Amino acid sequence: MSANDGIRYYKPYVGPFDPCPPIRVKSYSTPPQLFIPFQPPNWPQFSPHDALKYGTLWPALYSSYESKCMRKEESEEEAGD
């Protein structure tokens, strides 16, 4: 995992008396602007049409949304291999 992957994982504490089945690994997404301290000059830009489609003018700030359900299915497939 690189330092600026869009998805981070952590292992929460699982208490001995928790009434529900534990979730061993949880995930959360981090926006790309956390890793860009300032806007460099002459950054590449999307075309106006693509900028409206992606919601940002700069490709480096684009972060597609991925459903947690899809991430869960992928992790189950990897575990089965």
Asked if residue 1 is part of any domain, the answer here is no
The pLDDT of residue 35 is: 81
- Closest CA relative to residue 25, chosen from 8, 3, 13, 9: 9
SS3 57: coil
DSSP per-residue letters across 17-55: T-SS-----EEEE--GGGG--S--TT-----HHHHHHHT
Q: Which residues form the domain of 31?
A: 7-80
Asked if residue 39 is part of any domain, the answer here is yes
The pLDDT of residue 1 is: 46
- Closest CA relative to residue 29, chosen from 11, 10, 46, 14: 10
Task: Name the stretches of the chain with pLDDT < 70.
Answer: 1-5, 66-68, 70-81
- What span, in angstroms and rounded, lies between the C-alpha atoms of 10 and 8? 7
**Number of domains comprising the chain:** 1
